Amino acid sequence: MAAVAICLYANPLSAGEVLKISILPEESWFGAVVSCGLDMPWTGSTKGFSRDLRKDSYTNQTSPMLLSDKGRWIWCDDPFAFTVDGGEISIETSGSASAETGTAKCGTLRAAYLFCMEAHFRPEGKIPDPMLFSAPQYNTWIELNYHQNQKDLMSYAEGIRNNGFPPGVLMIDDTWQTNYGVWTFDASAFHDPKSMMDSLHKMGFKVSLWICPFVSMDSRPYRAIAPKGAFLPGADGSPEPVAWWNGKSAVLDLTSPVAVDWLRGELDRLVRDFGVDGFKFDASDVHFYTGEGMRLPAGTVPVDQCAAYAAFGKWYSLNEYRACWKNGGRALAQRLNDKSCTWRDLTQLIPDMAAAGLLGHLFVCPDMIGGGLLGSFKPGVPVDQELFVRSAQVHALSPMMQFSVAPWRVLDKEHLVLVKAAVDLRQKFAPRILALADECSKSGEPMLRSMEYAFPGNGYSAVKDQFVMGDFLIVAPQIEKGAECREVRLPAGRWLADDGEVFTGPARITVKTPLSRLPHFIAQ
């Protein structure tokens, strides 16, 4: 689809100058902040919504782009603060930055996206590791948390196989390592990591390791590379301690070849010596680089560090990021931020994934099934089994599907069967999902799309509880506790439902949603 745009404004904004865009009648706006998908769309009735991309990633991906369902767009190469209030969008940058706005000729959300994609983040034509799409992923965080060790990790892997789940990417999370920045297996917890890796590979898994851009300041790597300028300095020129969720550490300056070469050498050694297949790149949030005392390289701003960390991922096709800045079109797997095991957080998954796609993140994973927050799974506190099944169903036909808490540990037999059915459904669609990933890597369009993006002009802008994979599959999970039916919006055409019934759209239909059912509709 061609998306010709007429540029309305492309002049530098001086410091303190504010660009104001009036919202049109019945116009809806999207973009900028993935974790705000549930707040979208912003319309003329939105009151006092604001975010500042210069200071915060809001736990997920951000990009300096806003798109409307009337085909209008706003783009700025630099991070901005924006406010939606009183029928107006206000954009403010920190200095001289070119703010562009325009209207795509076709006048749709999809046309606006395609114009910005062609102009600012063309696709690389590659996908992350195919196993991220072709099988479920398994992360060890909830089961092992800060006690990663070889014995329990192998028990988790064997539990996957023994309970009838297919092998996939196995992500070993934080504390597999000796210390932060000391990227060697902790010998007290992993007595023979090479044999462990060999066994996991024989079982059919690929294995990735958690890493972060922080280095403990009492470690050997810190002492070795600090004098070479590998870390971001403070006012006195020495590395600035940065507070993060695991204490204070020095942070790598990944715009520096010294830091890049060191980190790549460490990770390549793990690949070479142990057969590690890839890495989970955590902690790319912009607020880690905004401290008053931190001295960034000349001509850079905090988000440049986030972008450099994301660019590092290109070396490893098996990757995962949770926070990114302006990295649309890249062959990076993007996960939503950790969710709690609540029905409210379940409702975030679809709009947040759609928001990620609208920022050019083609390959998105909806967090972990049941949630990824450790505090949601307390010993002795039963899991909401209905919620767990519904969460698995949201994942099943999304671009990726990721477990962490072991379903066979927290579910009874009846609910475990239903989760396995969701996995079986995914395996049935896996070839088409993988083919879609390849197609999107070339077209630059997201795998998962909102109804408004895929079928514009039908009043779908506020639809947040169903999504489209490519343009061939509409997925309408049940995300309301105890609900026995739900409404589904179908666009023009013939649609084959999962129960065999054929519907002709456009139509609003009501379908039954027993816990065993994930409603989905294939274009005919």
Same domain, 481 and 429: no
Q: Identify the domain containing residue 57 by its residue range.
A: 5-120
CATH code of the domain containing 15:
2.60.40.1760
Identify whether the C-beta of residue 197 lies closer than 8 Å to the C-beta of residue 275: yes
Q: Can you list the alpha helix ranges (DSSP code H) found in 148-238? A: 150-162, 193-202, 220-225
Same domain, 268 and 409: yes
Q: Helices 413-443 and 385-396: crossing angle, nearest 10°?
A: 30
Question: Which pair of structure tokens corresponds to residue 372?
Answer: 């990824």
Identify whether the C-beta of residue 107 lies closer than 8 Å to the C-beta of residue 113: no
CA gap 411, 399 in Å, rounded: 25
CATH code of the domain containing 415:
3.20.20.80
Identify whether the C-beta of residue 507 lies closer than 8 Å to the C-beta of residue 493: no
Same domain, 86 and 137: no
Name the domain count of the chain: 3
Ordered mean pLDDT values, 10 residues apiece, the chain (524 residues): 51 74 97 98 98 97 98 94 97 83 92 96 98 98 98 98 98 98 98 98 98 98 98 97 97 98 98 98 97 94 97 97 96 98 98 98 98 94 97 98 98 98 98 98 98 97 98 98 98 98 98 98 98
Which of residues 90, 120, 150 is at a domain's end?
120
Which pLDDT score, from 0 to 100, does residue 10 have? Answer: 56
Same domain, 453 and 488: yes
Question: Which pair of structure tokens corresponds to residue 284?
Answer: 């790319």
CA gap 465, 488 in Å, rounded: 9
**In the block, residue with structure tokens 């060191």:** 262
Question: Which pair of structure tokens corresponds to residue 411?
Answer: 């579910």
Calculate the CA 283 to chain-centre distance.
13
Same domain, 38 and 177: no
**In the block, residue with structure tokens 């991906």:** 61
Which pLDDT score, from 0 to 100, does residue 98 have? Answer: 76
Same domain, 291 and 409: yes
Which pLDDT score, from 0 to 100, does residue 17 have? Answer: 80
Q: Has residue 236 been placed in a domain?
A: no
Which pLDDT score, from 0 to 100, does residue 99 have? Answer: 84
pTM for this prediction: 0.96
Same domain, 99 and 150: no
Q: Has residue 217 been placed in a domain?
A: no
Same domain, 318 and 394: yes
CATH code of the domain containing 519:
2.60.40.1180
3-state DSSP call for residue 21?
A: strand
Q: Taking Cα atoms as reference points, which of 411, 429, 431, 422 lies closest to residue 477?
A: 422
Same domain, 79 and 176: no
Q: Has residue 351 been placed in a domain?
A: yes
3-state DSSP call for residue 281?
A: strand
Calculate the CA 94 to chain-centre distance.
27
Q: 233: which strand partners?
A: 239
- Distance in Å from the first CA to the final CA of the chain: 21
Q: Has residue 477 been placed in a domain?
A: yes
Q: Has residue 276 been placed in a domain?
A: yes
Q: Taking Cα atoms as reference points, which of 121, 24, 11 lies closest to residue 71?
A: 24
Same domain, 267 and 309: yes
Calculate the CA 517 to chain-centre distance.
26
Identify whether the C-beta of residue 25 lies closer than 8 Å to the C-beta of residue 65: no
Give the contacts of 18 (CB within 8 A, at least 6 positions apart). 90, 91, 92
Which of residues 89, 120, 151 is at a domain's end?
120
Compute the CA torsion angle 171, 176, 181, 184 (nearest 10 deg).
Answer: -110
Question: Which pair of structure tokens corresponds to residue 450?
Answer: 């909102």
Identify whether the C-beta of residue 121 lies closer than 8 Å to the C-beta of residue 152: no
Same domain, 374 and 508: no
Identify whether the C-beta of residue 514 lies closer than 8 Å to the C-beta of residue 466: no
Q: Has residue 90 been placed in a domain?
A: yes
In Å, how far are 195, 311, 404, 458 from 308, measured between CA atoms? 34, 5, 28, 40
3-state DSSP call for residue 236?
A: coil
Radius of gyration of the chain from Cα atoms? 23
Same domain, 342 and 403: yes
Which pLDDT score, from 0 to 100, does residue 1 have? Answer: 40
Please calculate the CA angle 451-56-95 and round it to the nearest 5 degrees. 105
3-state DSSP call for residue 38?
A: helix
Which of residues 63, 98, 120 is at a domain's end?
120
In three-state form (DSSP H/G/I as H, E/B as E, the rest C), the secondary structure along 393-439 is HHHHCCCCCEECCCHHHHCCHHHHHHHHHHHHHHHHHHHHHHHHHHH
Question: Which pair of structure tokens corresponds to residue 1?
Answer: 């689809």
Q: Taking Cα atoms as reference points, which of 54, 19, 15 lies closest to residue 33?
A: 54
Long-range contacts, 15-18 (Cβ 8 Å, 24+): 15/93, 15/94, 15/95, 15/96, 16/92, 17/92, 18/90, 18/91, 18/92
